[in-house]
Amino acid sequence: MRMTLSEILTATGAVGDLGEGENPVIAEVCSDSRAVAAGSLFVCIPGERFDGHNFAAEAMKKGAAAVMADRPMPEISGGAPVLLVRDVVAALGLLAAAWRRKTNPILAAVTGSAGKTTVKEMLAAILERMAPTAKNYKNFNNLIGLPQSMLAAGAKDRFWVMELGISVPGEMEKLAAIAAPDLAVIHNVGPAHLEGFKDVAGVAEAKCVLLKNLGEGAKALAGMDYPELWEEARNAFPRVMGMSTKDPEAMFYGRYLGPAESGQGRFSLRLRDAQMEFVLPFRGGHFAENVLAAASAAHLLGASARRIEEGLCAVELPDQRFTAKQVGEFTVIDDTYNANPLSMRRSIQAAAAEAAERGAPLVLVLGEMREMGERAAVEHRELGGFTAQTGCTAVFYAGGYGEELALGLSEGGFAGKFARVAKTGEFLQGMKNLALDRAVLLFKGSRSNRMEDYVQVFMGEARKEGGV
C-alpha cells in the first residue's frame, strides 16, 4: 500500500489532527506492535485476549507514523497522530476498499467450505505466470485478515487472489463490499460453522451473498455437485457458470485419473472447449475439485493450458493440508489444519484410497469437529458410519462426541480398534499395541484439538531405530 495520511483519513472517515504541513506516505498497515516498522500505520484492533489500544505507545516508540483507534489516547499525545474512528475493523475494511479502487487490479475471490486455501494457492500460482500477483497470507480471510492482505498488495500487482472466510451470517456482505471482486469462485459447501448457519442450505445462502454483490461485468463460478449451492448460486447470479467432477456435460469438468509415478497424480480437465490432461504433484480424488476450480478461474482470466499446467506443477500448498510424508514403512498424511464434515469425508476417502493402493492398513487419528451447533452429535455419528465403510484398521479419537462417533462406527459394522485418547502418549501407546510394521495414517481434526501434536509425536517415534 502507498497512501498519504490525508487519503487514509478520507477513506476511513477518521477524525484527527495531522499537524501542519505533514502528510507522510504510509506504505504499511500493522496490527501487531511487535512487527511495526518505521513509517507504518498501527491499527488498534480490540480482541477477546488482547486489545491493540494497549500497545499503541509501543508502536509509536518503534516509529509508527500514525495510530488508528476507536477512543482518544492521551497517553501518546504529542507523538504520532491518532486517527479516531467509530469501528477500527470497519475502518480497516474501508481503507482496503479504497486501496483496491486506487490500484484497480483484477480481483478473484475464492470461498467454499473445504479447500478454499488450496484453491487460492493454486490460482495464484497460475496467475503469477502471467503477471505480478498478490494473495492472502496463509488463510488471512476474515474481516481483519482480508483487508490486511489487500493492503499488503503492491500497486503493480495485476491480479489479487483473495480467500474469503465466514463463520456467522452477515460477514460475507461486508467481505464482498471490501473485495469488490471481478471473479467469484464458490467451489463447494458443506456442514461447516453450523452454530451460525444451522444447515448446509444456510451455508450456501451465506456464501452466495458474495454473488449477489458482484458488480456489472463480473463473472462467477460455482460447484454444481452441491445441490444447495448450485440452486442458490443460480438464484443469486443467473450468469453463474458451473463446475463439476461428476457431470461430463458441465461447462467446466474435471476428474482424477489415478496415481502416476513418484507420488504424483493424473488429472483431466475440460474448460469450456479446451481439453487438458496433466500430471501434478498431488494425488487423490479430493484434489480434482480444487484443481478444477483453480484452472477454471484462471481460464476465465486468460490463462493458457501451458500456464495452468506450469502454475499447478509449481504450487506449494500450505502445511497441514493433506501433505504426505514417508517415514520408513509408514505414510503419514497431515491434514490437521481444520475439519468439518465435508473435509473429513474427503480426506478419509482419499487416505483410504492411498492405503488400498499401497496394500497397507489404514489408521485414522481424528479430532472433534467443532462449531457444529445443534447438529454436532448427528454429524459425529454420521461420520462414524462413513468411516466404518473404509475398512480401516483403527480409529483414535480426541475430543468430544466420541460416544456418538463410536456409535456410528458400530452401526456401520466397524470391526477394527476404536480408542479415545486425551494425550499424545495414549495414542502412541495404542499404536505400539497394534504392532503394525507398515500403515497409512491420516491425522485430522478442528484446530483447537491440536492434532499436529499427534503428528509430531508419531513422526519422532517412527524415526527412531526400530520404528513405532
What is the mean pLDDT of the segment spanning 279-290? 91
pLDDT for 272 beyond 90: yes
pLDDT of 64 reads: 94
CATH topology of domain 105-314: UDP-N-acetylmuramoyl-L-alanine:D-glutamate ligase (3.40.1190)
pLDDT for 466 beyond 80: no
Q: What is the DSSP letter of 28?
A: -
Q: Could you please report the per-residue DSSP string of 63-111?
A: T-SEEEESS--GGGTTSS-EEE-S-HHHHHHHHHHHHHHHH--EEEEEE
What is the mean pLDDT of the segment spanning 140-160? 97
The domains spanning 3-86 and 105-314 adopt the same CATH topology: no
Residue range 3-86 in CATH 3.30.365.10: no
HSE value, Cβ hemisphere, 13 Å, CA-based, for 201? 1
- Better-predicted residue by pLDDT, 188 or 192: 188
Q: 194 pLDDT band (50/70/90 cuts)?
A: confident
What percent of the chain has pLDDT above 90?
Answer: 85
Angle at 261 between CA 256 and CA 265, to 5 degrees: 20
Domain spans, the chain = 3-86, 105-314, 323-463
Nearest Cα residue to 107 out of 136, 80, 73, 85: 136
Q: Could you please report the per-residue DSSP string of 294-359?
A: HHHHHHHTT--HHHHHHHHHH--PPTTSSEEEEETTEEEEE--S---HHHHHHHHHHHHHHHHHHT
| Joined grid coordinates for residue 465 | 531405530
Q: 309 pLDDT band (50/70/90 cuts)?
A: very high
DSSP-assigned beta bridge partners for residue 51: 46
Q: What is the pTM of this model?
A: 0.91
Q: Could you please report the per-residue DSSP string of 204-231?
A: HHHHTHHHHT--TT-EEEEETTSHHHHH
pLDDT tens for each residue of 357-416: 999 999 999 999 999 999 999 999 999 999 999 999 999 999 999 999 999 999 999 999
pLDDT tens for each residue of 20-72: 667 899 999 999 999 999 999 999 999 888 899 999 999 999 999 999 999 99
Q: How far apart are CA 187 and CA 299, in angstroms?
A: 15
Say which CATH architecture domain 323-463 belongs to: Alpha-Beta Complex (3.90)
What is the mean pLDDT of the segment spanning 79-87? 92
Nearest Cα residue to 1 out of 130, 88, 96: 96
pLDDT for 17 beyond 90: no
Mean pLDDT taken over the chain: 94
